[in-house]
Structure 1
Amino acid sequence: MVPPYILAVDLGGTQIRAALCHPGGQILRRVARATQAKSGPEAVLERMARTISEAIGEVPSEEIAAIGIGAPGPLNPVTGIIMGAPNLPGWQNVPLRTLISERFGRPTFLGNDANVAALAEFTYGAGRDVRDMIYLTISTGIGSGIIVDGRMLLGANGLAAEAGHIIVKPDGPLCGCGNRGCLEALASGPAIARDVVARIKAGKKSRVVRLVDGDLSKIDARIVNEAAQAGDKLAINAFRRAGEYLGLGITSLLHLFNPRMIVLGGSVTKAGPLLFDPMRETLDARARPIYTEGLAIVQAALGDDVGLLGAAALAVTELGI
C-alpha cells in the first residue's frame, strides 16, 4: 500500500515553501519562510529542512510516500544536482536530492521549477484533458515546460524546454544569458519595463511617469499594465510588441512540438488581451494553419500554488501513483 501523503517543496530565491499534500493535489498544510539566499547553500539547506519538518508536523515518516522539490535551474533531475542557480548564490553542483533524501529518509525527486509547474498544470490544472501541452510562465523571466505524449520533455541533461532563450530578434537587446534577442529579453516583465523607460527617455509622453512620481527606476510591468488598462498608448504598445515577440516564440514551439494546448502563467499575463491579442495575431500570420487548428491557448489555473503542486506532481509521477 502506498503511503497517503506527499511532501512538496518549492525552493525559490526569495522564499522556501513546503506543503503536506494528498497525491490527488489537495494541500493539507503549508509552511513558508524567507530563503535568505545570500547566506549560502548550507544555511539555506538548514532553513529548508526546518520548513519541511514543520510541514510534516506530527505525521509519521513512513506515511510520507516521497518528497518532491521544484528549484531554479540549471539542474540535472536525473542526478538531483543543482548546477548553478543564478538566484541562489554559491549553489554550484549542490546534490540537493541526496541531501534531503538522507536527512528525511524518504524517496526524493528534484525538478526544474518551470518544468514542475508545467507538470502541475498538466496533472491538476488547465491541461488535465490533454496529452501534449506547452506551459509558459512570463514574469521576471520566461520559463517553460513541455509535455509530449503525457511525459515531461527533459533532454539529455535535463536542460530542455528553455523557451525563454529562443532567439526572436538576432540584433535585439542583451539577455541575462549573454546572448542577444532572446524571447526573455523582449517579452518578460523587465523587458516591457525597459521598453517603456527607453521611450520615455527619448521624449515620449506617458501616464506611467505620473504613476511613479517621475522616478523611472520604479517602472515595472505592473505599473505599465496599470497605465495600459487606463488607455495609455505607450504602455499599450509596449504590451503589443511583447505579445508579437511572444507569438514568434510560440510559433517556433508549435512547429517543433505540435501541442494541443498552450498554458500561459506568470504575472505578466495579467495584462490579458493587451498581450494575448497581438500574440494571437502573430500566430495567425506566422504559424502554418494546420498547427493552430484545434489549438487551445489558456491561462494557467493553479495560481500561486503551481510551484508546490508541481513538486507534488513530480513525486506522484515518479512514483507512478
Structure 2
Amino acid sequence: MEQNMEYIVGVDLGGTKIATALLDLNGKILRRVRNETTPLKSAKEVIDCLIHSVHKVRGDIPITGVGVASPGAVDTKRGIILNGANLPEWVNIPLRQEMESQLELPVQIANDANAAAWGEYYAGAGKGSKTMAYITISTGIGSGIILDGRLLLGSNGYAGELGHTMIVQDGQLCGCGQLGCWEAYASGTSIARIAKEAAEKKFSLMTELAAQDGTVIGAKHLFKAASLGDSVAIGVIDEATSYIASGLKNVIHTFNPDCIVIGGGVSLAGDDLFAPVLEKTKRLVMEPYRETFRIVPALLGEDVGVVGAATLSFT
C-alpha cells in the first residue's frame, strides 16, 4: 500500500453473501473477502459478520470510512434498514449507528440499486457523465439516478424505483401488487415468461435448448435460439426490447440523462439487446432528445456493489 494514500471499505450486503473490499479513492479494489449470510440467524449475527469483514479486509491499513449497500428499503439519510428483503430479522435496523459505534468511523448506508448506480457513475460505464440513469435488468428491475452529479434520493430516500412506473394500463400483475409496471414486462423474469408462453404456442428451439440444459427457458436460450434464426425467439426479443424502450422513454423524458447504463443478466446479451433497444428508444422519444443520450452496458460486474458502497462518501 502506498504511503499518504487514503483508503475506504465497501460492503455489498446480500441475502446469501457479504462481499467486502478495500479500495483506494479511485475506486480500485485492493483486497476482498466474502462471507455467507445463509447460516446467520439474527440481525445481530449479520452485523457482527459485517464488522468482522471490515476488520479482516482492512488489516492494519488506516481507512477513512465504510459504505454499505443493502437490499430492500433503506432510509439513507438516517442510516436505517427499513426492510432488508431476504435477511433475517432485518426490519428497522439502525445499521449506521450500530456500525459507527463499533468501528469508530463514518459509515454510509444505501439501497443496493442506488449504490450500484453511484459505482457505475464514479468508476464504471457512466464515468464522465453529468446525469446518468442506471437500470439493472435481472429478476426485477432496479434503478438509480445521478442528477447533475448527485445521487437522487428523494425526500425519504426512496427515489429511483423506475421498475414500478406503469407502461401498460391495467396490465400484468407486478410483484409490488400493482398492474402494468415496467418490471412486469421488461425484467429478466418477465422476458422469460413471455418466451415460455410463446414457445408453448408454437415450436421453438428455445424449448430444445432449455431441455438440453435441464432447465426452464431463460434469457440464454432466448438469445441463442434467435441467433440460430428461430422466428419465435426473434419475435420475443422484438417484444421485449419494445417494452424496455417504453420504460427508457419515460426515464429520458423525466431526467434527460446523457448516459443510461444497463446492468443485470439480460444486459449480457450484447448488441442483440442494445442495438434494437437504442433504435426503438430513439424512435419513441421526442425529437429534441434523440441525440442527447447513449445506452451502454455496465462495466463493474459483480464488483458494482462494493465499489458503489465504498464511494458513497463522495456523493
TM-score, length of structure 2 as denominator length: 0.92
Trace 1:1-321 onto structure 2 (pairs within 5 A): 4-36=6-38, 39-59=41-61, 63-201=62-200, 203-213=201-211, 218-315=216-313, 317-318=314-315
The superposition leaves residues 42-65 of structure 1 with CA deviations (integer Å, 9 ceiling, x where unpaired) of 332232222222212232xxx210
Q: Distance in 2 between matches of 1:76 and 1:140?
A: 23
RMSD over aligned Cα, in angstroms? 2.1
* Structure 1, gaps ≥5 residues long: none
CA shift, 1:250, in A, is 0.9
- Would the aligned equivalents of 1:16 and 1:33 in 2 still touch at CA under 8 Å? yes
| Secondary structure in structure 2 of the residue aligned to 1:137 | strand
Q: Report if the CA contact (8 A) 1:36-1:44 is conserved.
A: no
Q: For the structure 1 residues 219 and 51, does the alpha-carbon distance in structure 2 shift closer, same or farther, using more than 3 Å as the test?
A: farther
Q: Distance in 2 between matches of 1:231 and 1:170?
A: 33
Deviation at 1:89, TM superposition (A): 4.1
CA gap of 1:252–1:288, structure 2 versus 1, over 3 A, is: same
Per the alignment, in what secondary structure is the counterpart of residue 83 of structure 1?
A: strand
How far apart are residue 90 of structure 1 and its match? 2.7
Q: Secondary structure at the match of 1:243?
A: helix
Q: Is the 8 A contact 1:41 1:90 kept in 2?
A: yes
- What is the rounded CA distance, in whole Å, between the counterparts of 2:129 and 2:192 in structure 1? 35
Mapped partners of 1:127, 1:37: distance in 2: 36
Does 174-183 or 266-275 show the bigger shift? 266-275
Superposed displacement of residue 284, structure 1: 2.5
Q: Distance in 2 between matches of 1:58 and 1:219?
A: 48
CA contact (8 A) 1:37 1:89 kept: no
Deviation at 1:3, TM superposition (A): 7.2
User: Aligned letter for 1:51?
Assistant: S
**Alpha-carbon shift at residue 241 of structure 1 (Å):** 1.5
CA distance in 1, matches of 2:51, 2:223: 38
- Change in Cα spacing, 1:215 to 1:307, as seen in structure 2 (3 Å) is closer
Structure 2 Cα separation of the partners of residues 170 and 18 of structure 1: 42
**Equivalent pairs: percent with the same residue?**
42
Q: How far off is 1:216 after superposition?
A: 8.4
Q: Deviations over 1:62-89 (max 9, x none)?
A: x210001111121110011111132324
Aligned to 1:176, the other structure's residue is in SS state coil
List per-residue Cα deviations over 1:124-156 (Å, max 9, x = no partner).
122222211111111111111111111111101
How far apart are 1:159 and its partner, in Å? 0.3
Amino acid at match of 1:135: Y
Question: Which letter maps to 1:279?
Answer: V
Per the TM alignment, residue 222 of structure 1 is displaced from its structure 2 partner at its CA by: 2.8
Moved more, 72-81 or 50-59: 50-59
- Please, what TM-score do these two structures have when normalized by structure 1? 0.91
Which shifted more, 115-124 or 231-240?
231-240
The change in CA–CA distance for 1:101 and 1:252 in structure 2 (over 3 A counts) is same
Q: Which amino acid aligns with 2:260?
A: I
